[in-house]
Amino acid sequence: MIAVQDRKLALWNIGVAYAAFLIGTLCGLLQVFIRNDALQLPAWLDYYQILTAHGVLLALIFTTFFIFGFFITGMSKSLGSFGPKVRLFSWVGFWVTLLGTVMATAMIVAGEASVLYTFYAPLKASGFYYVGLALVIIGTWISSFALVGHYRVWRKNNKGQLSPLFAFMTITTIIMWIIACLGVVATVVFQYIPWAFGWTDTIDVELSRTLFWFFGHPLVYFWLLPAYMAWYVIVPKILGVKVFSDSLARLSFVLFILFSIPVGFHHQLTEPGISNFWKFLQVVLTFMVIVPSLMTAFSMFATFEIAGRKNGGKGLFGWFTKLPWKDIRFTSIFIAMAFFIPGGAGGIINASFQLNEVVHNTLWIVGHFHITVGTPVAMTFMGLTFWLIPYLTGRKFTKAMKMLGLVQIITWSIGMLLMSTSQHILGLLGAPRRTAYSGYNNHPSAMEWFDGILTNHVTMAVGGSILFVSAMILIYIVVMTMFLSPKAVEEKDLVDFPMAESDMSRTPKWLENWWIWIGLAVLLIAVAYAIPLSHMIQHAPPGSEGFKTW
């Protein structure tokens, strides 16, 4: 078991994550009912306010705090207890991120920031909303540097050795995150904040969008990589085998440093100000980032087969039935992975240049989001939560909780399947995203969208309601394992952190030479962005004043 102070740190992070999850999922429930015109909000509350809260609290806050809770636990376990400086900076990072969260949320509640979590200018929120978001990023940087410091101490004490796989992957994710955030920090600090407080009159809209998406796509990898860490490092241990290939796991992670950043234009394919050449170049780079995911898929199924055969599975697919399906720690993550197959394929469609016109800003994108971050990432985090909290609190993960966990995972899967299928089809038909009830005055074209068996308003609402029930079950499990479940006294009741062994004997040392990967990443970013970005700045139109259209 890791040091008690490190446990406290991790638990606070996870606690905040689930507070955000509670409010965020409640917003989601309200949305599905407003969308089908079944619910009228009171005058002081607006659909887009709730939508902003849903996006910010789930996509940004729940993920970020959970990820740091997971990192802190795993880093303390794999590299040893934190020193006083690392601990101090981890707390400072935590409080700064929390302060930013509270500020941004207060502005949303006050109706001063119904600009969604993408906050596209020239929608102008209160300056404190942008300051809040900036603090969230700065807080994560402080927490990140604390973990990097911990890692450096370990490296100094273990000269010439490769770090444990969990630590290696944590550092990879952090490096990618820090480079990615430079874009959003630049736009928020130099464009939004001076403009929102009235120090400058106008803002260059296209530039702000471009800097946002420099950050926006690697942001999704910041959610995904910790899930991949669980798949690479935790799952084999649960299955009783080793990591399939240490060097491939590391290689796939460093490829994410290279290719997850210079790809932001694929979110801007249908907009002006970027020429087709540069859009297409970034489409090509986007396809490169699929390669490490293909490697991951192979490693996972190889791990499953090895484990299944070890348990006596015979024939071509017999091993599949020999996997520990009754172990909720495994089943949850397996379902999460299964959702990522259509999720990843949908991503390839979205990034396919002109094909993007068919789906851009339709409900398809919302569906895509929910079967990428909303299930593969979120459900992996749920699968981790089941044992991570008892591990940190020293409480039992009781039989009743295991049963509830199974119910929670199954309901989440069913709810998401209904809701996201409906959203994907509606999007293909043309229904727009990010709208309240969108009947367009009962326009016949709009009415047609909602005619199908899967695409009618009821299906999405049923899906959303099941998801909310599932979320509440999860909150119950979190509260129980955090505060109320009986303490584990006997050895057999102690919950362990399953961290698989990884054979590093054949892993090349250059994989852990970070300067190679940072250097290559900077080079690729320069290739992908330098010319179109400088063109955008040099040929900028007169800027835009702010608008508050809500």
Partner 1 sequence: MHLHKYEKIWLVFGIASLIVFLSVVGVSAFSQDHTPAGGMETIDPKKVNETAPFDNPGVTQLDDDTYQVAIVALAFGYTAPELKVPVGKEIVFKVTSTDVVHSFTIDNTKVNMMVVPGRITTKSYTFEKPGTYLILCNEYCGTGHHMMYTEIEVYEE
Contact window for partner 1 (CB under 8 A) among 283-291, 306-314, 493-501, 514-522: 283-291
Residue of 4, 291, 341, 537 interacting with partner 1 (CB under 8 A): 291
* 370 included as an active-site residue: yes
Task: Look at phi and psi of residue 180 and say left if phi exceeds 0, alpha if psi is from -120 to 50, else beta.
Answer: alpha
User: Which of these is catalytic: 267, 368, 395, 424?
Assistant: 368
Q: Tell which positions 18-77 bind partner 1, by CB under 8 A.
A: 46, 48
The answer to whether 386 touches 496, Cβ cutoff 8 Å, is no
Contact window for partner 1 (CB under 8 A) among 121-129, 229-237, 407-415, 491-499: 121-129
Nearest to 164 by CA among 72, 298, 74: 74
Residue 4 binds to partner 1 (criterion: CB under 8 A) = no
* Contacts with 232 (C-beta within 8 Å, 6 or more apart), sequence order: 165, 169, 243, 249, 296, 299
| Residue 34 or 401 having the CB closest to partner 1 | 34
Determine the Cα–Cα distance for residues 100 and 78; give it in Å rounded to an integer: 30
Tokens standing for residue 316? 């071509």
Residue of 4, 45, 110, 284 interacting with partner 1 (CB under 8 A): 284
CA atoms 423, 428, 63, 325: torsion sign: positive
Residue 270 binds to partner 1 (criterion: CB under 8 A) = yes
* 217 included as an active-site residue: yes
* 253 included as an active-site residue: no
The angle formed by the CA atoms of residues 57, 60 and 63, to the nearest 5 degrees, is 95
In whole angstroms, the minimum distance from the beta carbon of 333 to partner 1 comes to 21
The answer to whether 217 touches 263, Cβ cutoff 8 Å, is yes
In whole angstroms, the minimum distance from the beta carbon of 244 to partner 1 comes to 8
Residue of 29, 205, 335, 389 interacting with partner 1 (CB under 8 A): 205
Omega into 324 within 30° of 0, i.e. cis? no
In whole angstroms, the minimum distance from the beta carbon of 369 to partner 1 comes to 14
Give the residue carrying structure tokens 């009415």: 447
Determine the Cα–Cα distance for residues 392 and 496; give it in Å rounded to an integer: 9
In whole angstroms, the minimum distance from the beta carbon of 202 to partner 1 comes to 9
Residue 294 binds to partner 1 (criterion: CB under 8 A) = yes
Q: Tell which positions 133-192 bind partner 1, by CB under 8 A.
A: none
Nearest to 320 by CA among 328, 331, 329: 331
Q: Tell which positions 334-393 bind partner 1, by CB under 8 A.
A: 348, 352-358, 360-362
Q: What is the CA radius of gyration of the chain?
A: 23
Determine the Cα–Cα distance for residues 277 and 28; give it in Å rounded to an integer: 39
| Residue 84 or 542 having the CB closest to partner 1 | 542
Distance of CA 440 to the CA centre of its chain: 33
Contact window for partner 1 (CB under 8 A) among 289-297, 312-320, 376-384, 408-416: 289-297
Residue of 4, 157, 271, 509 interacting with partner 1 (CB under 8 A): 271
Q: What are the φ/ψ torsions at residue 451 (nearest 5 degrees)?
A: -90, -25
| Residue 37 or 496 having the CB closest to partner 1 | 37
Residue 476 binds to partner 1 (criterion: CB under 8 A) = no
| Residue 3 or 288 having the CB closest to partner 1 | 288
Residues making up the chain, counted from first to last: 550
Residue of 91, 190, 287, 514 interacting with partner 1 (CB under 8 A): 287
| Residue 120 or 197 having the CB closest to partner 1 | 120
* 434 included as an active-site residue: yes
User: Which of these is catalytic: 155, 360, 434, 535?
Assistant: 434
Concatenated DSSP letters for 365-379? HHHHHHTTIIIIIHH
Residue of 13, 63, 191, 268 interacting with partner 1 (CB under 8 A): 268
Q: Tell which positions 213-232 bind partner 1, by CB under 8 A.
A: none
User: Which of these is catalytic: 87, 150, 433, 457?
Assistant: 433
Residue of 42, 315, 486, 541 interacting with partner 1 (CB under 8 A): 541
Determine the Cα–Cα distance for residues 474 and 494; give it in Å rounded to an integer: 21
Q: Tell which positions 421-460 bind partner 1, by CB under 8 A.
A: 430, 432-438, 440-441, 443, 445-446
* Contacts with 539 (C-beta within 8 Å, 6 or more apart), sequence order: none
Q: What is the 3-state secondary structure (H, E, C) of 5-26?
A: HHHHHHHHHHHHHHHHHHHHHH
Nearest to 31 by CA among 417, 363, 407: 363
Residue 276 binds to partner 1 (criterion: CB under 8 A) = yes
Residue 206 binds to partner 1 (criterion: CB under 8 A) = yes
Contact window for partner 1 (CB under 8 A) among 6-14, 69-77, 182-190, 286-294: 286-294
Determine the Cα–Cα distance for residues 73 and 170; give it in Å rounded to an integer: 11
User: Which of these is catalytic: 215, 221, 304, 340?
Assistant: 221
In whole angstroms, the minimum distance from the beta carbon of 247 to partner 1 comes to 5
In whole angstroms, the minimum distance from the beta carbon of 383 to partner 1 comes to 25
Distance of CA 143 to the CA centre of its chain: 17
Determine the Cα–Cα distance for residues 550 and 546; give it in Å rounded to an integer: 12
CA atoms 241, 246, 248, 249: torsion sign: positive
Residue 242 binds to partner 1 (criterion: CB under 8 A) = no
Q: Tell which positions 483-502 bind partner 1, by CB under 8 A.
A: none
| Residue 3 or 297 having the CB closest to partner 1 | 297
* 54 included as an active-site residue: no
| Residue 143 or 252 having the CB closest to partner 1 | 252
* Contacts with 163 (C-beta within 8 Å, 6 or more apart), sequence order: 78, 79, 151, 154, 155, 171, 512
Residue of 4, 85, 110, 120 interacting with partner 1 (CB under 8 A): 120
Q: What is the 3-state secondary structure (H, E, C) of 66-80?
A: HHHHHHHHHHHHHHC
Count of residues binding partner 1 (CB under 8 A)? 73
Residues with catalytic function: 217, 221, 368-370, 433-434
